Structure formats: structure tokens, C-alpha cells
């Protein structure tokens, strides 16, 4: 069952508790011009979203772990020379930042608009999966990027964005990170981050892409329990970094990668992407809906972002869609 959604008042109270000190219910109620009962109700159910608030009689409320709040101005400072490329908006609550930006794109929003959410309640992954997060425990945002090229010329865009994420994590000191086709970033073979790219436009152009990115920063145990695959977070990998710094540096790398993609396509980035692919030159099993699994050797990617697999019947090309790829030890005699 979906936990209750925090109210706008919940976020206001949490920000007042940001310093980790005790605040009495009476003081909070007086400052917010509400009743003490209203304050108490606004703080109920937050543990479902990864936030624990201590309540001690006579002292009041205190956050067990301070929240690393996003701040648009701080993000811009960390972007550096590419800051003029972006307009960053931070919202407390969103069902899906991709959905917000897809609607904004249809309404004519400018290239470089970024929507980041403190808490995303219905984040979408590939193949209909839900992206689970806790409040402050992940970086979840979407970027709108407009292209003169048509939809058909944007093959490999999701892979290019993944490369920008990989560069960012390595710049910040992450070790043992790798890419997994088509849109995952792994740490020691566990999912650390994911991307979902959605494209609107004409075949001949122009087109608009919404690039949604989710990075696990510090997952609470009960959030992990909801996820049906091996996952990890930056805290486990040993990388302690503020979400503002992470988002700022990631946007800087996205600007460079997307400018290269616009000018030269994914082909100019392909070799770098392949060198970081966790499954390259490994036996893999490729699953497609309603079809028998294909087994073969992962042999890189094409300039259009297709996964190349050497199977018993020859070289096959797979495109993302509903394709699932996993490593396997099974080998066919004639493969």
C-alpha cells in the first residue's frame, strides 16, 4: 500500500528542524500559525519516506538525520562555466519529474529547463518499473533538451546521458562504477543510478527529449525492501557528496555530452561508453516479450545505441524498448 503523501506543511516543519535541534510543538505551531495537533499530524507517516523525527516530552521534535536539501542557487554555483545553459527549479513534491517536463515541453518550455524533486512519489523506470526513493535519500530530476534533429536521429541519447553520469561520479571520486546497457549505472554490479529518456517531436525535426535521472544517495532499509533488484547507493560505495554538488557537476557534464551528441551523434562517444560497459565481452542472455531468450557474447554497441550480441545465428542488434539483458554462464555448444 502506498504510504500517505507528506503535505506542504510537513515540508515547512522539516525545514524548521533542519539544524538537528529540538523544537517544541508549541514553538512550531506558533511560528507556522497552526495548532499543535496540526503539527503532530503533519509529522505522521514520514518514516515511510525515509525520515525519522524524534519526539521527546518536554523538549519537542528533532530530526534524527538532517536532510540535505536541494537549493537551485547552490546547484548553479557548482555547474560552473555551463551555468547559463540551465534553468533549475526545485520542487518539494512531484509524482514524476519526467511527467512535469513533458507537459512543460509541450507548452514551449526552453531548452535546459531542469526540474528536481525533493521527493518523487511515482518515479518511472524503464519497462514500467517504479523508481522508489526516500525524502533526501536520492537525487531525482529531469532535464529538457531540444534538438534540431528529428526523433530518428536521436538513437543512443540515453547512453550518452549515462556517460555524463559516469564521468560525474568518477570526477567526484567514485570507484568501481560501470555502465549497463541501456540506461543503468552500476557499482560492483548493483544498480546505483538509472535513466529514462522520453522523446517528442517530428521525424524530420525538431524534437525535444526529457532525460530523467535518479541516483541513489542513501537508501533507507525499508526503501530497499520495495525494490525487486540488486541496488546500492553512494553512501555504500564510500562517496559522501551533497546533492547540490552532485546535480551541479552532473549538469555540467550533461551540457558537454549533449553538445557533442548534437554535433556528431552517439558515434563520437561510443568507444568511451563501451570501455565502461559492465557486460562488454561477456556472455549475456537477452529477453524479449513473447520470444525465446537469446544467448550470446556482448560485442559492444552501434552508433545508434543498439546492443550488439554475437549469437549462434550471427550478430544481432537489440534496441531498448522491452529488452532485458543479464549476464549468464550458460553457453550454447555452437556459440
Tell me the catalytic residues. Answer: 126, 191, 326
Cβ-Cβ contacts under 8 Å for 108 (sequence gap 6 or more) = none
Q: Residue 277 has what DSSP assignment? A: B
Question: Cα torsion at 73, 218, 231, 163 (round to 10°)?
Answer: 30
12 vs 212: CA distance, rounded Å: 26
The phi and psi torsions of 103 (rounded to 5 degrees) equal -70, -40
Sequence-ordered list of residues with C-beta below 8 angstroms from that of 218, at least 6 positions apart, any chain: 136, 137, 233, 234, 235
DSSP secondary structure letters along 156-202: THHHHHHHHHHHHHHHTT--SEEEETTTEEEETTEEEEEEEEEEEE-
Tabulate helix, strand, coil % of the chain (nearest 5).
35, 30, 35
Length of the chain: 335
Spatial CA neighbour of 183 closest among 208, 223, 156: 156
Of the CA atoms within 13 Å of residue 70, those in its CB half-sphere come to 28
Evaluate whether 75 touches 244 at the Cβ level (below 8 Å): yes
Amino acid at each position: 500500500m502506498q504510504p500517505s503523501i507528506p503535505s506542504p506543511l510537513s515540508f515547512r516543519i522539516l525545514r524548521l528542524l533542519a539544524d538537528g535541534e529540538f523544537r517544541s510543538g508549541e514553538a512550531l505551531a506558533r511560528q507556522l500559525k497552526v495548532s499543535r495537533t496540526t503539527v503532530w499530524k503533519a509529522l505522521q507517516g514520514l518514516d515511510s519516506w525515509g525520515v525519522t523525527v524524534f519526539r521527546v516530552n518536554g523538549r519537542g521534535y528533532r530530526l534524527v538525520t538532517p536532510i540535505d536539501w536541494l537549493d537551485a542557487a547552490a546547484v548553479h554555483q557548482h555547474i560552473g562555466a555551463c551555468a547559463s545553459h540551465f534553468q533549475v527549479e526545485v520542487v518539494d513534491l512531484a509524482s514524476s519529474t519526467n511527467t512535469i517536463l513533458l507537459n512543460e515541453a509541450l507548452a514551449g518550455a526552453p531548452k535546459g529547463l531542469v526540474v528536481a524533486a525533493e521527493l518523487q512519489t511515482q518515479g518511472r523506470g524503464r519497462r514500467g518499473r517504479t523508481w522508489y526513493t526516500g525524502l533526501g535519500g536520492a537525487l531525482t530530476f529531469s532535464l529538457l533538451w531540444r534538438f534540431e534533429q528529428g526523433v530518428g536521429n536521436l538513437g543512443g541519447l540515453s547512453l550518452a546521458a549515462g556517460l555524463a553520469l559516469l564521468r560525474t561520479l568518477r570526477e567526484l571520486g567514485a570507484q568501481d562504477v560501470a555502465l549497463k546497457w541501456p540506461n543503468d549505472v552500476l557499482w560492483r554490479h548493483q544498480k546505483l543510478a538509472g535513466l529514462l529518456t522520453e522523446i517528442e517531436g517530428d521525424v524530420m525535426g525538431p524534437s525535444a527529449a526529457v532525460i530523467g535521472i535518479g541516483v541513489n544517495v542513501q537508501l533507507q532499509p525499508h526503501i530497499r525492501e520495495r525494490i525487486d533488484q540488486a541496488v546500492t547507493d553512494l553512501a555504500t560505495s564510500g562517496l559522501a557528496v551533497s546533492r547540490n554538488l552532485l546535480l551541479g557537476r552532473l549538469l555540467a557534464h550533461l551540457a558537454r555530452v549533449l553538445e557533442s551528441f548534437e554535433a556528431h551523434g552517439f558515434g563520437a562517444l561510443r568507444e568511451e561508453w563501451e570501455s565502461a560497459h559492465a557486460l562488454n565481452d561477456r556472455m549475456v542472455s537477452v529477453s524479449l516479450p513473447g520470444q525465446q531468450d537469446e544467448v550470446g557474447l556482448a560485442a559492444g554497441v552501434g552508433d545508434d545505441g543498439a546492443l550488439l550480441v554475437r549469437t549462434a545465428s550471427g550478430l544481432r542488434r537489440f534496441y531498448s524498448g522491452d529488452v532485458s539483458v543479464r549476464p549468464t554462464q550458460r553457453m550454447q555448444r555452437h556459440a
